[in-house]
Amino acid sequence: MASFLKGITATALINCSVANMGAVLRYKDITIPPLGVDAKRIKVDKSGIADIVDALNNPLEGPDRQSFIPLEKATCRFLFIVGQDDRNWKSEFFAVEGSKRLQAHGKEKPEIVCYPGAGHYIEPPFFPMCAASMHLLVGRPVMWGGEPKAHCEAQIDAWQQIQNFFRKHLTGKPSETPSML
């Protein structure tokens, strides 16, 4: 949305991809194809849960370059929250590449906050960690990654980071009160 709509001041991205996924993205006269997938790179453990982290093609190579979402068109500030044990896709790679792309187009360097041991679903504090569940696009259960303690700590900190980021960029004031959580 930040790439296409006016009036967006701040965007927090949690374990996001900066390439389009799953289906063609259309907005007005813009069409962005989805990033390619090679199902042969999916690994399945003995319990039948798929590890899909290596299934996606590289959005910096060949025709898959067309799948890159044009972040440089956004006029907002970005915060990337990254779980370094994300098994859905390579969130840290996407955050770094998004940062490089923004800076290459004269935009301010985004904030990137990385959490070792955190998986894909970084949700509000004290939500239970989802280690694996059904993935509709894959058609089977997949692992999302994360170590329980590190993931829980990441959820607590990320919530505070996101609130501080929005306070700073939406009100122009740094956070004065700590979270009650």
- CATH, residue 40: 3.40.50.1820
Whether 1 maps to a domain, the answer reads no
**In terms of Cα–Cα distance, which of 68, 58, 65 is closest to 3?**
68
Whether 75 maps to a domain, the answer reads yes
Other C-beta atoms within 10 Å of 30: how many?
11
Looking at the predicted structure, is the pLDDT value of residue 180 above 80? Answer: no
Whether 88 maps to a domain, the answer reads yes
Whether 180 maps to a domain, the answer reads no
Contact (CB, 8 A) for 102 and 30: no
Whether 20 maps to a domain, the answer reads yes
**In terms of Cα–Cα distance, which of 105, 73, 81, 70 is closest to 165?**
81
Beta strand pairing call for 132-135 and 43-44: unpaired
Q: Can you read off the two tokens belonging to residue 108?
A: 């301010």
Q: Which 3 state secondary structure label does DSSP give 37?
A: strand
Q: How confident is the model at residue 91 (pLDDT cuts 50, 70, 90)?
A: very high
Q: Can you read off the two tokens belonging to residue 41?
A: 């790179």
Run of H or E including 155: helix 148-166
Mean predicted confidence (pLDDT) in 112-139: 96
Whether 3 maps to a domain, the answer reads no
Other C-beta atoms within 10 Å of 52: how many?
22
CA–CA distance, 77 with 9 (Å, rounded to integer):
6
| Exposure string over 131-145, b if 16+ CB within 10 A, otherwise e | bbeeeeeeeeebbbb
Whether 24 maps to a domain, the answer reads yes
pLDDT at 169: 95
Q: How confident is the model at residue 181 (pLDDT cuts 50, 70, 90)?
A: very low
| Structural domain span for residue 158 | 10-169
Q: How many distinct structural domains can be found in the chain?
A: 1
Whether 78 maps to a domain, the answer reads yes
pTM: 0.92
